Amino acid sequence: MKIDSIILRELSMSLVHPFRTSFGETKERRVLLVEVRSEGLSGWGECTAGEHPHFSEESTDTAWITILQELVPLLTAVEEPSGGKCSDIFRVVRGHRMAKAAVENALWDLEAQISQVPLYELLGGTRTTLACGVSIGIQPSLEKLMDKVDTAIGQGYQRIKLKCQPGWDVEMFSAVRERWPEILLSCDANSAYRLRDADHLVSFDQFKLLMIEQPLWADDFYFHAMLQHRLDTAICLDESIRNRRDALAAIEMESCRIINVKLGRVGGFSEAIAIHNATLERGIPVWCGGMLESGIGRSHNIAMSTLENFSLPGDVSASSRYWKDDIIEPEVTVTAKGEIHVPNTPGRGFEVRTDLVERLTVRRQEIKALALV
């Protein structure tokens, strides 16, 4: 493919409800989109970096600069770029995986359109229906939380994940478990605990959680392994897993029994597929995490979740849980059984609402390929 131009946009999008984790609250998303144009077609990628470097070292601003100053020049210096070549092309840039993923995924998105095949097929996916779960943020009160859980169960969601932190855990799990003894329930601490909390974390076993996501440090395997040996409940790693090698180390060390795969966190589709294949081979189930994405990132999460080993319900839920108006058409919907039907049309399967994208854009930069050679 020959790239004609690359357009970076920052969109300002308000979440329908603020989302609170152990590291902070988000209401206004600053969504960075990458559009790669080639011969009349547009591939889109979304950068999942947060507004602040709280989940990872990256932010909307660091990703903007990295894409513009480092990744785009590397990409346009290559004769025949493709999504699959991006990890090689971008290798000289250390880290910045969310910035890299935004560009790489736009290329895969474009390739699916050029080849006239659904993106999920290009990735090697086979699932046509996806099991959906929800991630419910830390709430101002137990009553509010019970309402949120009740609504999500009523909507058919197959697994409820509760964000937790010290002071918002045992009592909260008790209340939810008492009212819903049988539901598939998990929790996500986003690194809010320390090893001195081990006894406390072991007490979570009584709630029969499907998993405890990232209880300890965001860069740790060793202490998670120590904790996993004491827990009946499976640990799931999110923040700690940056690539296939991390997944192998975590499995080898028994730091976790489940892995959350996020496209941005691992640097794009190629590395996500590599993690998928390595975990499939070793019998470790994975699921697709979410980063409060707009429809573009959401459609890519759907495509990735069609891979065979995405065997647990993901955090990929309906557009309407996040946005009054999503920037794709149709928006992502979930059936009464808590399923997403994967579109079988060429490309990402959801059109980009370019008019709405323009209206939400607060910063835009276009790089024409001519200016780069």
Residues that bind ligand OSB (CB under 6 A): 21, 55, 135, 188, 190, 238, 289-292, 315
Closest CA to 269 of 10, 30, 65, 43: 43
Least distance to ligand OSB, CB of residue 271, Å: 18
Rounded Cα–Cα distance for residues 247 and 264 (Å): 15
Which residues, 6 or more positions from 11, have their beta carbon under 8 angstroms from its beta carbon? 29, 30, 31, 32, 33, 294, 327, 357, 360, 361, 362
Rounded Cα–Cα distance for residues 191 and 220 (Å): 10
- Which lies closer to ligand OSB via its Cβ, residue 13 or residue 291? 291
Least distance to ligand OSB, CB of residue 188, Å: 5
Pick from ligand OSB, Mg ion, none: which does 291 bind, CB < 5 to 8 A by kind? ligand OSB
Pick from ligand OSB, Mg ion, none: which does 76 bind, CB < 5 to 8 A by kind? none
Pick from ligand OSB, Mg ion, none: which does 55 bind, CB < 5 to 8 A by kind? ligand OSB
Pick from ligand OSB, Mg ion, none: which does 104 bind, CB < 5 to 8 A by kind? none
Pick from Mg ion, ligand OSB, none: which does 259 bind, CB < 5 to 8 A by kind? none
Least distance to Mg ion, CB of residue 228, Å: 16
Pick from ligand OSB, Mg ion, none: which does 60 bind, CB < 5 to 8 A by kind? none
Least distance to Mg ion, CB of residue 290, Å: 9
Q: Which residue is nearest to ligand OSB (CB)?
A: 290
Least distance to Mg ion, CB of residue 308, Å: 22
Pick from ligand OSB, Mg ion, none: which does 314 bind, CB < 5 to 8 A by kind? none
- Which lies closer to ligand OSB via its Cβ, residue 246 or residue 315? 315
Closest CA to 169 of 215, 135, 133: 215
Rounded Cα–Cα distance for residues 98 and 67 (Å): 10
133-136, strands of its sheet edge to edge: 133-136, 159-163, 185-188, 212-213, 235-237, 258-261, 286-288
**Pairing mode, strands 235-237 and 159-163:** unpaired
Residues that bind Mg ion (CB under 5 A): 188, 213, 238
> Within a 10 A sphere around the Cβ of 329, how many other Cβ atoms?
11
- Which lies closer to Mg ion via its Cβ, residue 213 or residue 246? 213
Rounded Cα–Cα distance for residues 187 and 58 (Å): 24
Least distance to ligand OSB, CB of residue 362, Å: 21
C-alpha neighbours within 13 Å on the C-beta side of residue 290: 26
- Residue 262 appears among annotated catalytic residues: yes
Rounded Cα–Cα distance for residues 264 and 283 (Å): 23
- Which lies closer to ligand OSB via its Cβ, residue 122 or residue 134? 134
Q: Which residue is nearest to Mg ion (CB)?
A: 238
Rounded Cα–Cα distance for residues 365 and 153 (Å): 42
- Which lies closer to Mg ion via its Cβ, residue 42 or residue 135? 135
Least distance to ligand OSB, CB of residue 301, Å: 9
Q: Which candidate in 2, 144, 148, 163 is catalytic?
A: 163
- Which lies closer to ligand OSB via its Cβ, residue 81 or residue 295? 295
Q: Which candidate in 27, 262, 324, 368 is catalytic?
A: 262
- Which lies closer to ligand OSB via its Cβ, residue 1 or residue 153? 153
Q: Which sequence positions are flagged as catalytic?
A: 163, 262
